[in-house]
Structure formats: structure tokens, C-alpha cells
Amino acid sequence: MKKNRIVVLVDMDAFFASCEQQEKPFLRGKPVAVGGKNIVAACSYEAKAYGVKSGMSTYKAIEICPSLIVVPGDMEKYAFTSREIMKMLPDYTSEIEIFSVDEAFLDVTDTVKFWDNNPFNIAKDLRERIKRRFGINASVGISYNKLMAKLASFLAKPDGIKMIKRDDARNLLENLPVEKLSGIGQRLKKELNALGIVTCGELARFPVTILKKLFGQYGLLLHYMAMGEDSSAVKEAVPKNRSMGHSKTIPGGIEDKHTALIYLFRLCEMVGRKVRKSGMIGKTVSITIRYEDFFTFTRQITLSYYIESGEEIYEIAKGLFMQTDTLYRIRLLGVSLSGLVKASRQIRLKEDERGIRLRRAVDAINNRYDR
């Protein structure tokens, strides 16, 4: 375990919107929102200046920013650009964790010596290359662990570099609202605020025993987070796919099961396609159902064998779906396959048995619920 690490977080600024502005020059300098029909998935800094935020309804966004240009999102395109950018990272270290489509952690503890022992040189070089090749601004946070590197990049935005040294962390955290830390969302913020805890300083001084009682193991973690401590490692470069899924909000909602099954089938096919494309197979099928009142729940079942095709997924998903109530109008349906492993010849040998076992599993579901 290394003690004094140097962790860098590269974070693309307004990534989706920047990709669009790069591709379509007439969008540059304008307030742009990328998203679906009803919600803003991401927006340009010009739009942010008006108060537009991701997650906001498109209606509201246009209300506060009438000149907003809304473009449909194209995840494939962004993922491609992302992969191209990420290809540059091994030039700086072999310890890379691709954290999301627009963020990556780099542990440069062992390689910073090649950059005059100054991590700023790495940050500058990386930012320049991304800007030059892709026309996209990136912000870089540098610190002694991932938690603080993340905070640093937040403070660096937009288009900047920020380093948080261990000696400065305590001062910085003292008056920092707890929700600025990655890992503390709206829900936790509310609960902490209710305890009279608003800043990280206050959280750090709050009795650990009470935090543990209230939040379990996470309470202990919160205590350390508030002090700027995070022992998690920058993990391997290849993100392990634990699950793959699709979900769909149905405009107007669905009332009858037949229509729902048609949606379900399509989702299963999409999941199957995605899974096969990545050369994976999985054994746990989950469905998500959201009723009109936003009550959301999941049902899942783990098989004793692996599957990959839309048809196989559908048979299981349908079984799960048929057990659920149909009293309410369905707003969203989702299907996902988890327990994923790389498809291998050994596992594939069992393929012949699959048909039989599949039927057995479906029977088991049906029997279990006595239908």
C-alpha cells in the first residue's frame, strides 16, 4: 500500500455538448442542450450560464433559456470520442481507471518523476492534447486520493487545473457543504442536514459511533470522507461489465399486458444484442417496472446456466413480468442481464442442454407462483 499517492482526475467539460459543438461549428458559443424529449441530459457552458442543468425538464430549460438549441443525444458518437481520448492515457501511467464516459483517474505516483516531479506538467500536457486533437476542454484535479482528486476537478471547472495538497485539505473541507463530496447525494445531504451537519468540518467532528448507528458501515466511511481520507485504489483499466440493460419510458403509459410484453420483447432483444456484441453471457435476468405514480420495483432471477440471446432473456423476463400486478398503468419497463462473464468455449459446450434447462427454469418460475 503506497502512502503518498498522486492521483489525477481528467474530466471533460460538458462532454456531450462539446462533442456536438465540435461536430457542428454553428453550435459553438451557443447555449446547447443534449437530450431526449423531456429531459436535458447535458448542456453547454453557455446554457449553464442561464441556469440550465442536466436532469432538468426540457420544457423548464427552454423557459429559462429561450435561445436554447436542443439536439438529440448520440451515445455511440460520444463513446467513440471517449475511447479515442482514453487511448492517450497510457502515455502517462499504466494505472488507469476509466470512471465514466467522460472521466478517468490516473495514479501517477510512479511516473511523475518523468515530468520533473510536477503533476501539473502531466495535467497541462493532457489538456493541451485533448484540446488540440478533439477541440474539447478538459479539467484536471490533482490530489493525494481519488475522493480529493474528484473534488479538485470540480473546483477546477471549467477548463482548469486544481491541486489539493494534503496540508490544505482540512482548511478546504472545513466550510465545504457535505454534498460537494462525491458519494453524498441529495438524500444523504438531507439526512445529515437534519442532524445539524452542513459542512464537512461538522461531519468530521460528529461522533463516529452515532454515524455508524445511523448509516451502518457507510457511516464510518462518511467520517473519513469528511476528513479527506479515501483509501480506494485506482483500479484496472478495463471496466468490468457487471450488467447490461435497457429501459424505456413509455409515453402515456401502458395499461394492458399484451402491449407491455411487446415493449418487453424489444428491450430483451436490445439487451441480447448488446451482450453478444461485447462477447459476454449472463445468468441473472432482472426486470424493472415503474408505475405512473413513480413507484418503482425490480424482480430478478438467477439461472443455473448462462444465456445471451434476446429470446432466452425474454422467456425469463416474461415469466417475471407475469407475476406482477397489472392494476396500474406502467410508465417504464426495463430489462437487464447481470452475472456477466466472457463467453468461453467451456461454457458454450453446455449449449445443447440449454433448451431443456430453459424450459425447466420457466416451469419452476410458474410453479413457484402457482399459475
List the beta bridge partners of residue 254.
Answer: 330
Stretch that binds DNA, among 44-52, 120-128, 155-163, 289-297 (CB under 7 A): 289-297
What does residue 13 show for φ and ψ, rounded to 5 degrees? -80, 130
| Residues 123-162, interacting with DNA (CB under 7 A) | 150
Looking only at Cα atoms, what is the longest distance across the chain? 71
Residue in 25, 23, 110, 130 with CA at minimum distance from that of residue 74:
23
Asked whether 33 and 58 are in contact (CB, 8 A), the reply is: yes
Is 103 designated active site? yes
Span interacting with DNA, options 24-32, 87-95, 119-127, 215-223, rule CB under 7 A: 215-223
| Of the residues 187, 258, 277, 371, which one makes contact with DNA according to CB under 7 A | 187
Q: Could you say whether residue 109 binds DNA (CB under 7 A)? A: no
| Helices vs strands, H then E, count in the chain | 15, 13
Residue 297 in contact with DNA, rule: CB under 7 A: yes
Nearer to DNA, 121 or 298 (CB): 298
Sequence-distant (6+) residues with CB within 8 A of 242 are 338, 340
369 binds DNA (CB under 7 A): no
Local structure of residue 254 (DSSP, 8 states): E
Q: Which of residues 59-78 bind DNA (CB under 7 A)?
A: 59-60
Helix (H, G, I), strand (E, B) or coil at 248: strand
Residue of 103, 179, 312, 315 with catalytic role: 103
Q: Does 103 bind DNA (CB under 7 A)?
A: yes
> Does residue number 114 form part of the binding site for DNA (CB under 7 A)?
no
Distance CA 224, CA 22 (A): 41
- Here the cell at position 249 is 419510458
Q: Does 231 engage in binding with DNA (CB under 7 A)?
A: no
Enumerate binding residues for DNA (CB under 7 A): 36, 38-39, 41, 54-55, 57, 59-60, 99-103, 150, 181-189, 216-218, 239-249, 270, 274, 283-284, 294, 296-302, 332, 334, 336, 338-339
